[in-house]
Structures are given as C-alpha cells and as structure tokens.
Chain A
C-alpha cells in the first residue's frame, strides 16, 4: 500500500513536470481557439488568450494545434441545475462552436459561460454587449473544480500519511519530514501568536487546510497545466466568506461590544463608531478576497504577457533577442511568483488568524 502510494506520488510529480515542459512550449507561440490556421500573433489575440486563460473553463485543454485546429486535452462533465439536473460532457459544446442538447433544452458556451438558448444557439445581447440569455446554475466539474479536487486528494494523501507515520514513532520519515515543519510553522508562527495559546487549537483545522489549499493551488497555477483557481474571484470570495463566518460565530461578547457600543468613549462617539466598525467587519474579508485574487491574477497575467513578449517584440528586436528577453524575464517573474504563491497563502492564513484572534480575545477593561 505504502509503495503504491509513493509510486502514485512520484508519478503525479513526474506528470506535472513533464507536462509543464511540453505545454510551455505550446502555450507561448500558437494555440488559437477562435481562428483556425493562424497562430496567435496580434496584440488583441494575445490579450484574448490571456483573458481566456484567467477564466475558468469547461474542458481541459493542454495544447491546441493552431494549424489543424485540434485541441489536445479531455472534456469535463457539465452539470447544470435548470429545472432538474442536466448532465453531459463538455465535448458536446465543441469548444463553444456547437449547441449542446440535453433533454429538450439547448445550451451554448459563450466566453466560458453556459447560456440557455434555442436550438440554433441564438444569443441576444444588451447595449453593453452582454448576453441576455438565461444562465442556468452551473455546477460543472470545471477546470478549477478539477484543480481543487486534485489538491484535496493530494492533501489528504500527504497529510494522512504524515498522521499515520506518527503511529510508528514520534519522528516522521521520508516526505513527511518535509510536511511536519510546515504544519509546525503554521501552528507556531501563524495561529498561536495571533489567536492565543488557549484558543488556537479550535481553529487549526480551518487554518491549516486553508493554508495548504491556497499554497498548493497557487503552485499548481504556476505549472503550465493552465490552472488558475486562486485567481478566480468565486474561489477567493468563498475562502474569505469562510473566514468571515468563522470570525462572526466565534466572536465573544467583547467583540460584539466593540462593534456596536465601543467601551471607553463618549456616547456620541459610540454612535459614530458603530457604522464604521460594522463596515470594518465587512472590509476585513473583502480585503482578503481581493488581495488573493488580485495577486494571483496579476501574477498569471504578467507571466503570460512576458511569455508573449517573444511574439509581440519579434518585429522590433528580431526572433532571437525577443525570445531571450522573454525567457529571462518570465523566468525571473516565475521565481518571484513561487515566492508570491507561498506569501499569499501565508498572508491569507495570517490575516484570518488575526481576525479570529481579535474576535476571541479577552479584553482587559480599559
């Protein structure tokens, strides 16, 4: 069993590395969705490509052959809630080119979103070029969901093996030796100092999970598999909402008193401070979700733009210079992004524990 697990682990790592090297070569130069036969080479096309990458998608494309227009990848299941569950594979959309039929309803994929249409796939637009068609609740196993499930499975495998290791002896061996200091780091550097010795234990489950979840997803986003999970606003909103609810539900009497009736200030100030404090209650998770989203999105955007430099600058500097520049710069930014991947996970967990700490803190009466 152990050998099997290890083999699995190593093969996942190997697969990630291999696919990164192969797909990097592809993602920079060609791979067009909309126009067959043309490599992506104009400013607008690159912009659209990056934008497309930053969004979630309903299929898993590793590489697209620009010349023949074939996509290498696999479709993912689409699950819609539209007066009952509708399930089919995303291959039915043919990357947005055809209308998918499920039962007697028709759906079309348009800019990464699924709209309900008629049999011809007509999409009506409003003044701002936004489609006005009905959007069914899309519970599909999208690329981001695949990423999250992948990370969840990885985390469960890694940390349950660490947990099992303790049954054999107090000192972990092998890969667990790498994981243990990370767990200790989160506990001793993030949770304990911010929440306090007495109460930190209750929140460790959330903090550790969120820390490793964000970190591994951030790192996964740096592999050219094309994941952009933590740079997805829905994901960061969800993470921040978890923190928000945990803070509100674990807040003690002092916490609520400081929000609604600040002690130690004149009555007039209490009334003025109340809305400010309530606003503060909401801005805290908001800052969390925007920070994570913006950092990761910006990171992806910059890396992809720098890779695209080799095309955009080809006219100005020639192919060799532009490629060299692109490689050097994107390597540099990628190294920084590895740091940012950790940093954002750290900051998110740190601030979450800080907010929790503020909510559960016993104030001495001042």
Chain B
C-alpha cells in the first residue's frame, strides 16, 4: 500500500484527467454521436423495411383470401344458378307433360264421343239399310214365290249372300 501511494503521481493523474475529459468531449462530438445516430437510423430503417414487408405480405394474404372468397361466392352463385335452371327445366318438362296428357285426354274423350256418335249414326244407317234390303228381299221373294218353292229358298240364300254388313 505504501508502495502504491508512493507510485501515485499527482501530475500524471492530472494530465490523465484532462486528456480523458477532452477525449470524451471530442469523441462524443465527432465520433460517438454521429456513429450512434447513424446506427440508430439504420436500425430504424431496417425495422421499417421489415415492417413494410410484413404489411405487404399481410395485404397480399388479405387480397388472396378476398380473391378466394370472391371466387367461392361466384362458384356458389353459379351452382345456384345451375340448380335453379335445372329445377326450372324439370318443372317445365313436367308441366308440359301434364298439359300434353290433359290435351291427349281431351282428344281421346272427343274422339270417343265422335266415335260414339258416328257409331250411332252408322247403326241408324245400317238399320235403315237392313230395313230397305229386307223390304227389297221381301219384294223379290214375293215376286218369285209363284214359281217354285225351291227357287224361292235359293233366291233368299243368294240375296243373303249379297248382303254385307258394313
């Protein structure tokens, strides 16, 4: 300790204090302040760039999801439209079928009615013809009656053969 105290040089201490003080002041002004400022600026710049990149990425993500959403919407809409169209088609077809059936039914009924009335007329006509023919036959039979009984029968038979029921 005695040695240490003896070695302590007040002059050197004084010089060191002055040099260090001046050095700190000079270094602060000319070196540390600009260095630390530019380091800070650079780090902030890097941080900002990173943030911007992250934001851009996020926006891109948003855009992507938006696109996907829009795409999905469009698809469902298309699907819906298709479905509607199909349904419409089906209803149209079934309606048409029903209508056609009804029409056909009507036509059939009409036809049946016509047939019935025609049939009636035909039957009436036939009755008239049968009556006329019967009268004709009867007339001829009556005319040939005189000659022969056998001839009479032949005649009837031939006449009946002529008659066609149409």
Which residues does A use to contact B, with CB under 8 Å? 55-56, 113, 130, 137-142, 144-145, 148-149, 152, 155-156, 159-160, 162-164, 166, 170, 180, 183-184, 187, 201, 204-206, 208-210, 213, 232-235, 237-239, 241-242
Q: For residue A288, give the distance in angstroms from its CB to the closest CB of chain B.
A: 14
CB-CB under 8 A from B161, the residues of chain A are: none
Contact B7 A239 (CB under 8 A): no
Which residues of B (12-34) have their CB < 8 Å from a CB of A?
Answer: 12-17, 19-20, 22-24, 26-28, 30-34
Cα A234 to Cα B10 in complex, Å, equals 7
Write 21 A-B pairs (CB below 8 A) sorted by A numbering: A130-B6, A139-B14, A139-B15, A141-B15, A142-B12, A145-B19, A159-B31, A159-B32, A160-B30, A163-B31, A163-B35, A170-B41, A204-B36, A209-B20, A210-B20, A234-B10, A234-B13, A235-B12, A237-B13, A241-B17, A242-B17
Cα A112 to Cα B158 in complex, Å, equals 182
Which of these, A204, A234, A242, contacts B9 with CB under 8 Å?
Answer: A234
Chain B residue at minimal CB-CB distance from A149: B19
Cα A148 to Cα B36 in complex, Å, equals 24
* Residues 27-65 of chain B, each 1 if its beta carbon lies under 8 Å from chain A, else 0: 110111111101101100100000000000000000000
Which residues does B use to contact A, with CB under 8 Å? 4, 6-17, 19-20, 22-24, 26-28, 30-36, 38-39, 41-42, 45
CB-CB under 8 A from A204, the residues of chain B are: 32, 36
CB-CB under 8 A from A156, the residues of chain B are: 23, 26-27, 30-31
Cα A101 to Cα B80 in complex, Å, equals 115
**A160 with B31: in contact, given A138-B11, A166-B38, A183-B39 (CB under 8 Å)?**
yes
Chain A residue at minimal CB-CB distance from B28: A205
Contact A234 B16 (CB under 8 A): yes
Q: For residue B115, give the distance in angstroms from its CB to the closest CB of chain A.
A: 107
**A55 with B35: in contact, given A144-B12, A149-B19, A156-B27 (CB under 8 Å)?**
no
Contact B16 A235 (CB under 8 A): yes
Chain A residue at minimal CB-CB distance from B46: A170
Cα A184 to Cα B35 in complex, Å, equals 10
Contact B9 A238 (CB under 8 A): no
Which of these, B17, B24, B30, contacts A206 with CB under 8 Å?
Answer: B24
Contact B8 A170 (CB under 8 A): no
Chain A residue at minimal CB-CB distance from B2: A128
- How many residue pairs between the two chains, A and B, have CB atoms under 8 Å in the bound complex? 121
Which of these, B13, B14, B23, B39, contacts A209 with CB under 8 Å?
Answer: B23
Cα A232 to Cα B13 in complex, Å, equals 10
Shortest Cβ-Cβ A-B pairs, 3 listed: A138-B11, A159-B31, A166-B38
CB-CB under 8 A from A238, the residues of chain B are: 13, 16-17, 20
CB-CB under 8 A from A160, the residues of chain B are: 30-31
**A137 with B35: in contact, given A155-B23, A209-B27, A213-B23 (CB under 8 Å)?**
no
Cα A237 to Cα B8 in complex, Å, equals 9
CB-CB under 8 A from A162, the residues of chain B are: 31, 35
Q: For residue B16, give the distance in angstroms from its CB to the closest CB of chain A.
A: 4
Q: For residue B38, give the distance in angstroms from its CB to the closest CB of chain A.
A: 4
Contact A140 B31 (CB under 8 A): no
Contact A205 B27 (CB under 8 A): yes
CB-CB under 8 A from B4, the residues of chain A are: 233
Q: For residue B148, give the distance in angstroms from its CB to the closest CB of chain A.
A: 150
Q: For residue A311, give the distance in angstroms from its CB to the closest CB of chain B.
A: 25
Contact B39 A234 (CB under 8 A): no
Which of these, B12, B26, B34, B36, contacts A234 with CB under 8 Å?
Answer: B12
CB-CB under 8 A from B31, the residues of chain A are: 155-156, 159-160, 162-163
* Apart from A152-B22, A159-B35, A163-B31, 9 more pairs, CB < 8 Å: A113-B9, A142-B12, A142-B15, A145-B15, A148-B20, A156-B26, A183-B39, A233-B4, A235-B12
